[in-house]
Amino acid sequence: MLISTGGMRRSVLLGTVLMVIGQLFMFFSALYFQHPEAAKLLMYTGLGALIFGNGFFKPNVSTFVGQLYEPGDRRLDSAYTIFTWELIWVRLQLLSFVDFWVTRVIQPILNGGAFLLQPLSLSYV
């Protein structure tokens, strides 16, 4: 393929950075819950950064999977199936299960601070 991957890699990097910034804004919005206006601004800014970051990230990762195979290769369809269902759907289901138990079990121990541990479970994805 003659498609340059430099632009796609920069796009994935930009998407990753935007999603990290979005997560940080969401974290700080939870810290400033005593000030509803500031918390709303931080939350909506974080959500916007997450949305734009995902827009840069996800389409290009799917394109990278497509470039692993030559045109006409019969394994291409199965690669998308494995990529889509195994790496995304199943891991997100496990992540939601872990997050549920983190907030239910550790919440009473940390006296309401269990939300600070949820970003740690993102490392499982």
Across the range 24-28, mean pLDDT stands at 91
pLDDT at 122: 54
3-state helix, strand, coil in the chain (%, to 5): 80, 0, 20
State the angle between helix axes of 36-66 and 6-31 in degrees (0 to 180), rounded to the nearest 10: 160
Considering only residues 20 and 113, tell me which one the structure prediction assigns the higher pLDDT. Answer: 20
Please say whether the beta carbons of 102 and 115 come within 8 A: no
Considering only residues 66 and 1, tell me which one the structure prediction assigns the higher pLDDT. Answer: 66
Across the range 80-100, mean pLDDT stands at 68
Closest CA to 2 of 67, 51, 60: 67
Most confident of 52-56, 70-74, 114-118: 52-56
Tell whether the model's pLDDT for residue 107 goes beyond 60: yes
